[in-house]
Structure 1
Amino acid sequence: MKRWIVVDAGNTEVVVAAFHEEELAGRFAFATPANITADELALKCKQLAAEAGILGPVNGVLVGSVVPQLDAALREGLRRAFAAEVAFVGEAHVRTGLRIRYRQPKELGADRVANAVAAKALVGAPAVVVDCGTATTFDIVDEGGDYAGGLILPGPHMALEALAARTAKLPKAPLARPQTLIGHDTIESIQAGVFWGHVAAIEGIAERLRAQLRAARFVLTGGLVPVFADALDIEARLEPALTLIGLRLLAERRFP
């Protein structure tokens, strides 16, 4: 049986998952550190992997990182933790199977590449991935199966932080789905504005994309998608582990 470790190193957290063939066998996560040594990361991953029951021989480790300052520690720490070769999305020998039509392909985040790879495999082309996280991103696979580009907008937590930081009297409000559309105090008003404003932004962009890509299938993913999924009036497949699935597909190609 083929086994791979895949790592989604994001701005907020690092998710480490084990796949046995196509089965997600286990996972763990920890907050993305501001800095960490390879030794510290290896120890942390060994301990958490043992607790999650995913230590053992693997064919390879595939990392999708959007935190370049951690890449050196990730490469060496994961190699020590799992005693296997480590590869990163974006390296020449990691084949995506996608023609990436970005002006500067190296600017495209590894998570967005993985999402596009997974969406193409799961729902075909054309496809649109909506990923709700630190930022909310739209990634488009066109009719020919190429990565066509996308959209990026600030995530809801960014909006909440900006309102508190850039105004004199508005407090920091927690992200929550409001009970009513109209807020009846300042906190409720902020929550209603950020929540329903984000819903409207996602629905509005989706409507415009559907007009342009009429046959496109939509996929929803991301750490914040459970907050918004029930409120969104768009036909879409909910796939919380989409990025991990995409990384697994890339790992399978890199470490057959």
Structure 2
Amino acid sequence: MLVAVDIGNTNIKLGFLEGGRIAGTYRITTKANHTSDEYGLLLTEFLDMSGFSPDDVDDVIVASVVPKVMHSFRASIVKFLRIEPMVVGPGVKTGINIRMDDPKSMGADCLADCAGAYHVYGGPALVADFGTATTFNYVDGRGTITAGLITTGIRTAAAALWGGTAQLPEVEITRPKTILAKGTRTAMQAGLYYNFLGGIERTIRQFRDEIDEDFQVVATGGLGRVFADDTDLIDVYDPDLIFKGMAIIHQRTRAAR
């Protein structure tokens, strides 16, 4: 069994992949002060909940955008699973080229998303990840990332809204029943949701205006499902896209060794 670990700014996502299928997924809040023992305990508990033991794990692959957490989590894998994890970064085989000004600056999560989208759904594809940050990356028909866009995630924008104002409360991020809000909380929910949805649609249309070929839009992450259900500009929503991409990267890298 392969364990895929996506260490993000808000959550650490775990995926257990067995025989090409995803046997379980879990989330841990990202905290820089967690020890390797704490992460190891959580990891083994999640394995047990899925009917596995540490001895069932053949390998581990990690994609991280949080260096401070990476050290502790890698140590937990070595200590509790007795495995040195593969890390998405220089030296791994993704089957994806990067034609950007600074290829090394691309986040490991975006690279894994693009690998998953291209190898599972084909290209050209615009890959959208709705996380702490919202990213759009364009993969052409030859599997080359040629352009990208980064902006705030909706939760990040919402936190700025109530964190920077004295009288606005913290609200749940959800799809409102109507834009015709009649109270502060519902007005905030409607404003956040429809403003963000409009931004998504405008961004996709701008990519279509500037790219001289047809492409599909593949979305993943957090609230991606909510927005995917509310616009016809997103073709595919896959919550497990990054795990599929990491499994492909792991397979290609092992085959090359």
TM-score w.r.t. structure 1 length? 0.92
Q: Could you tell me which of 121, 127, 130 is aligned with 2:128?
A: 130
| 1:63-212 paired onto structure 2 within 5 Å | 63-92=62-91, 94-212=92-210
Which digits, 9 at most, give the CA deviation of each residue in 1:9-37, with x for residues without a partner? 11121112221231112232211123222
- Rounded to whole Å, the distance in 1 between the matches of 2:100 and 2:57 is 33
How far off is 1:54 after superposition? 3.1
Letter in 2 for 1:39: D
- Rounded to whole Å, the distance in 2 between the matches of 1:107 and 1:159 is 23
- Rounded to whole Å, the distance in 1 between the matches of 2:52 and 2:240 is 17
Of 131-140 and 240-249, the range deviating more from structure 2: 131-140
- Kept in 2, the 8 Å contact 1:161–1:172? The answer is yes
Which digits, 9 at most, give the CA deviation of each residue in 1:82-133, with x for residues without a partner? 22231111132x1112111222222211110001001111222211111112
Aligned residues: 253
- 2:57 equivalent in structure 1: 58
- Rounded to whole Å, the distance in 2 between the matches of 1:86 and 1:239 is 25
Of 184-193 and 54-63, the range deviating more from structure 2: 54-63
- Kept in 1, the 8 Å contact 2:7–2:70? The answer is no
Measured on the aligned residues, the alpha-carbon RMSD in Å equals 1.7
- Rounded to whole Å, the distance in 1 between the matches of 2:38 and 2:186 is 42
Of 64-73 and 31-40, the range deviating more from structure 2: 31-40
- Rounded to whole Å, the distance in 2 between the matches of 1:30 and 1:118 is 22
- Rounded to whole Å, the distance in 1 between the matches of 2:68 and 2:238 is 29
Question: Where does structure 1 lack aligned partners over 5 or more consecutive residues?
Answer: none
- Kept in 2, the 8 Å contact 1:18–1:54? The answer is no
- Kept in 2, the 8 Å contact 1:27–1:54? The answer is no
Q: Runs of 4 or more off by more than 4 Å in structure 1?
A: none
CA gap 1:135/1:178 in 2 versus in 1, 3 angstroms: same
Taking every aligned residue pair, what percent have the same amino acid on both sides? 34
Q: Secondary structure at the match of 2:150?
A: strand
How far off is 1:210 after superposition? 2.0
- 1:218 equivalent in structure 2: 217
- Rounded to whole Å, the distance in 1 between the matches of 2:6 and 2:139 is 21
- Rounded to whole Å, the distance in 1 between the matches of 2:122 and 2:108 is 20
- Rounded to whole Å, the distance in 2 between the matches of 1:140 and 1:54 is 37
- Rounded to whole Å, the distance in 1 between the matches of 2:114 and 2:188 is 33
- Rounded to whole Å, the distance in 2 between the matches of 1:49 and 1:91 is 29
- Rounded to whole Å, the distance in 1 between the matches of 2:180 and 2:151 is 24
- Rounded to whole Å, the distance in 1 between the matches of 2:234 and 2:219 is 10
